[in-house]
Structure 1
Amino acid sequence: MTQTMRWFGPSDPVTLAAIRQAGATEVVTALHDIPNGSVWPRDTIAARKAMIAEAGLGWTVVESLPVHDDLKTRGPGWDRYIDAYRRSLTNLAAEGITVVTYNFMPLLDWTRTDLAWPLPDGARALRFEWEAVAAYDIHILQRPGAERDYRPALVEAAARRFAAMDDAARTTLEATILAGLPGAEESFTSAQFRDAIANYAGIDADRLRANLIAFLDAVCPHAEALGIRMVVHPDDPPFPIFGLPRVVSTEADVAALFDAVPNPANGLCFCTGSFGVRADNDLPGMVRRLGSRIGFLHLRSVDREGGDTAFHEAEHLRGDAKMAAVVAAVHDVSRGEGRSIPMRPDHGHQMLDDLGRRTNPGYSLLGRMRGLAELRGLELGIAHAAAG
């Protein structure tokens, strides 16, 4: 695997020098200051690549080139935003980018309910809890009909949870869900979010999937001609939320996209954390069956708490991901195809000196450096054993 770390640009508290010292050879990044739907200028891409190269690192994977919501809803700006997306791909290819990550989740990027959940060892992790989501959805967002999306017992528990929260706790929960995490290009107030959800009225999973297929049909031939592989990031979390559908949550979802758009530029960002939230996703088996389509790897693990009630980010080699089996499958795919798949340690605990520093939630240096070291050692051990 090609070892990378995510970098959020010059304002990231984690420097390029630190990433290089952690052992990565490349960064994955994006032009986060450019609004969704705008063309990424070639000179801006070139300047960012030069900055990265000066630090002794490479940049061949973009994470992410956002898909405007008019493309997800098949809205009035469809033609304009498709053209802008293709132009951005052209400019990225001209500067040596070969993999472009994107997601097709409506409105929100990825959602958690706690960004600093304390672990027994004193470190902090990201956490998602359905009771907190329901408390926000029903009582703060006040989305029409929200109660119908939750089991009666959960509705009652959410009401008790909301009643016990003071104003500060309610504000924190709202900010955690809405502000998004680093890399999210949109943020909302609850009122704006509620209005934006209304734009998806009538868009169920079948229609959203059809819109994704239309997007891929429109961009993949252009990407293929440029030598770029488009890789879709799975839904995070991998189930409907706030009444919004999800269509990249299971192996069947991904296989349907590949069947509908067989173009080789139509690929997958395989995220063991997102897929791993669902116990019905067989992660090592998915790597072996989908391996030829995987262009980028996010390696992290989650602990599923109490079935489907909550999950939190685990240590990279623990939790429910079966990481040793996943990396063994990646090794076999890489060896069989003669390529090195870009990988990054996804998320990481806030720990040690980073507990007292400003960090992007999930993207502190030391937790990810620990994950990268563990994954590097795991891969070397597997390769050594395979060599006999």
Structure 2
Amino acid sequence: MQETWRWYGPFDKITLPEVAQTGATGIVNALHEIPYGEVWKPEAINARADEIRTAGFDWAVVESLPIHERIKRGEGDLTQLFANYRQSMANLAAAGVQVICYNFMPLLDWTRTDLAAPVARGGTCLRFEAYRMAAFEIHMLGRAKAEDDYPEEVRHRAAIWFQKSTDADREALLHAIMSGLPGAYDRYDVDGLRDALTLYDGLDRDALRANYRRFLNEIIPTAEDLGMRFCVHPDDPPRDILGLPRIVSNAADIDWIMSAHDSNANGLTLCAGSLGANPANDVPAIAAAHADRIHFAHLRNVRKDPDGAFEEAAHLEGDTDMVALIKVLLDEEKRRKSEGRADASIPFRPDHGHDLLSDADRETHPGYPLIGRLRGLAELRGVIAGLSHVD
């Protein structure tokens, strides 16, 4: 498996020389400065590729080539947006980048309610607190029917939190929820988010699936022609958020996606943390069912609470059997090698990490500290080495 590291380019407080010291050989990167829907020009791609390769790395995966929200909504004439997307793909392929990770989450990317929840022996982690999300949706956003999405106990705790909260508490909650948006784009305030949600009125699960199928039909044939591998990232968290449907949350969803366009170019980013936050998901089993279509892996762990809350655990702790999951990936690599496949090696990255030691002083992207991810990478590297030795 190829060890990679997510690097945010000019927005990252961590430098490529520092990343080199982690031992990772591949970089996961995107041109976050380019607005959604615009073409990634060859000049911009080649400049970033040269920067990465000059530092001694392979640009292993693009994460992400974002999908414009109009495509997710199926809104208006999408001809130019699809054409721009295909042109960006061609430009990336010409620069030697073959794997594209993306998601189909409406409006928001990953969502947390706390960016610095304390960890038992020191440090902090990302956390999704169900009652705080309920407080935001019901009491701050005032979303219609939000109460229907939460059980009575969670609603009760939400009301108590809101009554006791200060303006600073509410601002911190909004900041945490907005922090999953990548790059340098403006985050919404409460009024802005409320307005943005109106654009999704009437978008139910079936409609979002239909729009997703259209995206696959427009894009995957081009990926096949270019020799590229697309891999969808699961929803994070794997549940409806803000009344918007999520359609990449469980085993049945992934089964549907893989069959919606049956091609090796239509693959999966196996995110152990996102899938692991759903109590119904057996992550190693999902990986085994779709091993031949896994083109990228995010390895992290979560610890869940009965009310729907969860937090980032250390990479070898939490609720997912990480050793069993890595064995699935190594077995798949061995199978691919026996077939002589060019994509035999599966790139992975230590996804998220606790803020440890001096991480708190770096102000890196939430969930992407240096020391915490380095600890995770070292632990995962040890598991891979041990399993490889046994084999």
Q: How high is the TM-score relative to the length of structure 2?
A: 0.96
Q: Could you list the per-position Cα deviations for residues 78-111 of structure 1 after superposition, in whole angstroms to 9, with x for gaps in the alignment?
A: 2121111111001000000110111000000010
Using the alignment, how far apart are the partners of 1:140 and 1:184 within structure 2? 25
Give the corresponding residue for 2:76: 76
Give the corresponding residue for 2:276: 276
- SS of the residue 2:245 aligns to: coil
- SS of the residue 2:355 aligns to: coil
AA of the residue aligned to 1:331 = L
- SS of the residue 2:248 aligns to: coil
Structure 1: any 5+ residue segments left out of the alignment?
none
- SS of the residue 1:298 aligns to: strand
Q: Is the 8 A contact 1:134 1:155 kept in 2?
A: yes
Q: Could you list the per-position Cα deviations for residues 169-200 of structure 1 after superposition, in whole angstroms to 9, with x for gaps in the alignment?
A: 11111121124354585621211211221211
Q: Could you list the per-position Cα deviations for residues 15-54 of structure 1 after superposition, in whole angstroms to 9, with x for gaps in the alignment?
A: 1111111010010000010001111001110000000111
Matched, 1:110 2:110: yes
Using the alignment, how far apart are the partners of 2:221 and 2:175 within structure 1? 40
Change (3 A) 1:353 1:179: closer
Q: Is the 8 A contact 1:135 1:158 kept in 2?
A: yes
Structure 1 segment 329-340 matched on structure 2, within 5 A: 329-338=328-337, 339-340=344-345
- SS of the residue 2:155 aligns to: helix
Using the alignment, how far apart are the partners of 1:29 and 1:109 within structure 2? 16
Q: Could you list the per-position Cα deviations for residues 342-385 of structure 1 after superposition, in whole angstroms to 9, with x for gaps in the alignment?
A: 00000011001212222211101111111111111100100100
Give the corresponding residue for 1:375: 380
Using the alignment, how far apart are the partners of 1:60 and 1:179 within structure 2? 25
Give the corresponding residue for 2:311: 312
Change (3 A) 1:323 1:152: same
Structure 1 segment 141-220 matched on structure 2, within 5 A: 141-183=141-183, 187-220=187-220
Using the alignment, how far apart are the partners of 2:15 and 2:77 within structure 1? 37
Structure 1 position 11, deviation (Å): 2.9
Using the alignment, how far apart are the partners of 1:364 and 1:152 within structure 2? 36
Give the corresponding residue for 2:64: 64
Q: Could you list the per-position Cα deviations for residues 96-152 of structure 1 after superposition, in whole angstroms to 9, with x for gaps in the alignment?
A: 011011100000001000001111111110000110001011111111232222223
Give the corresponding residue for 1:130: 130
Using the alignment, how far apart are the partners of 1:359 and 1:88 within structure 2? 28
Using the alignment, how far apart are the partners of 1:62 and 1:361 within structure 2? 19
Q: Is the 8 A contact 2:135 2:162 kept in 1?
A: yes
Matched, 1:289 2:289: yes
Greater mean alpha carbon deviation, residues 341-350 or residues 72-81 = 72-81
Using the alignment, how far apart are the partners of 2:217 and 2:185 within structure 1? 24
Using the alignment, how far apart are the partners of 1:5 and 1:186 within structure 2? 25
- SS of the residue 1:10 aligns to: helix
Note the aligned Cα RMSD (angstroms).
1.3
Length, aligned pairs only: 385
Give the corresponding residue for 1:358: 363
Using the alignment, how far apart are the partners of 2:254 and 2:308 within structure 1? 25
Give the corresponding residue for 1:242: 242
Q: Is the 8 A contact 1:109 1:184 kept in 2?
A: no
Q: Is the 8 A contact 1:37 1:84 kept in 2?
A: yes
- SS of the residue 2:230 aligns to: strand
Using the alignment, how far apart are the partners of 2:258 and 2:365 within structure 1? 34
AA of the residue aligned to 1:253 = D
Q: Is the 8 A contact 2:111 2:179 kept in 1?
A: no
Change (3 A) 1:185 1:60: farther
Q: Is the 8 A contact 1:229 1:264 kept in 2?
A: yes
Structure 2: any 5+ residue segments left out of the alignment?
338-343
Using the alignment, how far apart are the partners of 1:8 and 1:374 within structure 2? 23
Using the alignment, how far apart are the partners of 2:320 and 2:146 within structure 1? 31
Give the corresponding residue for 1:95: 95
The share of aligned pairs that are identical, in percent, is 48
Give the corresponding residue for 1:53: 53
Q: How high is the TM-score relative to the length of structure 1?
A: 0.97
Greater mean alpha carbon deviation, residues 258-267 or residues 86-95 = 258-267
Using the alignment, how far apart are the partners of 1:249 and 1:185 within structure 2? 26
Q: Is the 8 A contact 1:109 1:236 kept in 2?
A: yes
Consecutive aligned runs of 4 or more in structure 1 exceeding 6 Å deviation? none
AA of the residue aligned to 2:180 = G
Using the alignment, how far apart are the partners of 2:93 and 2:260 within structure 1? 25
- SS of the residue 2:38 aligns to: coil
Give the corresponding residue for 1:344: 349
Using the alignment, how far apart are the partners of 1:262 and 1:194 within structure 2? 37
Using the alignment, how far apart are the partners of 2:377 and 2:121 within structure 1? 20
Using the alignment, how far apart are the partners of 1:218 and 1:21 within structure 2? 40
Give the corresponding residue for 1:321: 320
Change (3 A) 1:353 1:219: same
Structure 1 position 308, deviation (Å): 3.7
AA of the residue aligned to 2:357 = L
